[in-house]
Amino acid sequence: MISYHGADTDFSLKGKTAIITGGAAGIGKATAEFFAKKGVNLVLADLNPQVDAIAKKLGGKNIGVPGNVCEGPYRKSVIDAAVKTFGGADILVNSAGIVALEKAESISEDFWDRTISINLTAGFRMAQVFGAYLIENKRPGSIVNMASQAGVIALDRHVAYCASKGGIISMTKVLALEWGKYGIRVNAVSPTVVLTELGHQAWDGPVGDAFKKEIPAERFAEPDEIAGIIAFLCSDAAAMITGHNLLADGGYTIK
Ligand SMILES: NC(=O)c1ccc[n+]([C@@H]2O[C@H](COP(=O)([O-])OP(=O)(O)OC[C@H]3O[C@@H](n4cnc5c(N)ncnc54)[C@H](O)[C@@H]3O)[C@@H](O)[C@H]2O)c1
């Protein structure tokens, strides 16, 4: 059961331990920086071999575990590292992901499989191993999965990405349904374009400028404002929010 701890007036996360996949760059890194300021212990999981140095720069006993979230033993080793360093973990942010664009009629098998494997399958498997750890140890916890506006609408040349993010939103709801009784909340965040490396790579230029004009807010998002939303979802202020897909799209999908 998801307990009521009283109204959360300071959105406190102090003393919690968070695992952040994709924590070496973009939204994951911005979330790590935000969490560090809130007194959260960090375990960053990323392909980037510098991830431990990136974590250490954030102070505390923070660590980074380099590796590939598509690999089962690696996912387990990330949980083990959190237990060894901090005595456990309370939060998982699934931010590792890729975007690559291709027309539906010519997308290769490899391209499709790679997108689904990193964005959807690895996200589920990471949540699965973390959820199993929480259930076994009778710990409440919070999981935030990075989805996208592309999970709720169609975008040109995004068929694999849209399918992966639609899958993440659906998977989020099922995990919330199954794990609510254990005090585990599972939510998704669906931004419009976020100006990370991935965001710049996909949307800098005239196509992005035209896209921006279609967003009621008339701008793209910054990584640290997505970090704030993730922090809110992990705090007790969001104790009754689970299975939700929080759109951070400047209003793009209301049309
Ligand atoms: N940037 C955007 O416009 C945007 C919009 C909506 C949703 N999202 C989603 O947010 C998440 C983060 O995006 P971002 O813009 O911060 O990306 P980014 O490219 O800036 O950072 C992604 C990080 O994930 C890591 N990573 C990638 N594959 C990995 C793997 N197999 N194992 C371990 N680490 C891996 C990379 O090394 C990198 O550090 C993604 O899931 C993305 O789909 C991004």
- What's the pLDDT score for residue 10? 85
Per the model's pLDDT, the better-predicted residue between 255 and 180 turns out to be: 180
pLDDT score of 249: 98
134 C-beta closer than 6 A to ligand 1: no
For residue 119, give every residue at least 6 positions away whose Cβ sits within 8 Å of its Cβ, in sequence order, or none: 97, 98, 161, 164, 165, 167, 168
| pLDDT bracket for residue 197 (50, 70, 90) | confident
Q: Is there a catalytic annotation at residue 252?
A: no
Distance from the CA of 146 to the center of ligand 1, in angstroms? 9
- Rounded CA-CA distance 56/188 in Å is 27
Q: Determine the distance from the C-alpha atom of residue 88 to the mean position of all C-alpha atoms in its chain, rounded to a whole number.
A: 19
28 lines ligand 1 (CB under 6 A): yes
pLDDT at position 202 is 79
| Predicted TM-score (pTM) of this structure | 0.97
Mean of the per-residue pLDDT values of the chain: 96
Q: Of 13, 54, 51, nearest to 34 (Cα)?
A: 13
| Interval 131-168: pLDDT, tens | 999 999 999 999 999 999 999 999 999 999 999 999 99
* Cα(252)–Cα(255) distance, integer angstroms: 7
- For ligand 1, atom 6, the nearest C-alpha belongs to 148
Cα–Cα distance for residue pair 246/226, rounded to 1 Å:
10
Distance from C-alpha of 111 to C-alpha of 122, rounded to nearest angstrom: 16
Minimum mean pLDDT range among 3-12, 134-143, 155-164, 216-225: 3-12
Q: What is the pLDDT of residues 17-50, one digit of tens each?
A: 999 999 999 999 999 999 999 999 999 999 999 9
Q: Are strands 91-94 and 141-146 parallel, antiparallel or unpaired?
A: parallel
**Angle 42-48-50 (CA atoms, 0-180°, nearest 5)?**
70
For residue 91, which of 45, 56, 134 has the smallest C-alpha distance?
134
Q: Does 194 sit in the ligand 1 pocket, CB within 6 Å?
A: yes
Our answer on whether the CB atom of 23 is closer than 6 Å to any ligand 1 atom is no
pLDDT class for 253, splitting at 50, 70, 90?
very high
Q: Indicate the pLDDT class of residue 100, thresholds 50, 70 and 90.
A: confident
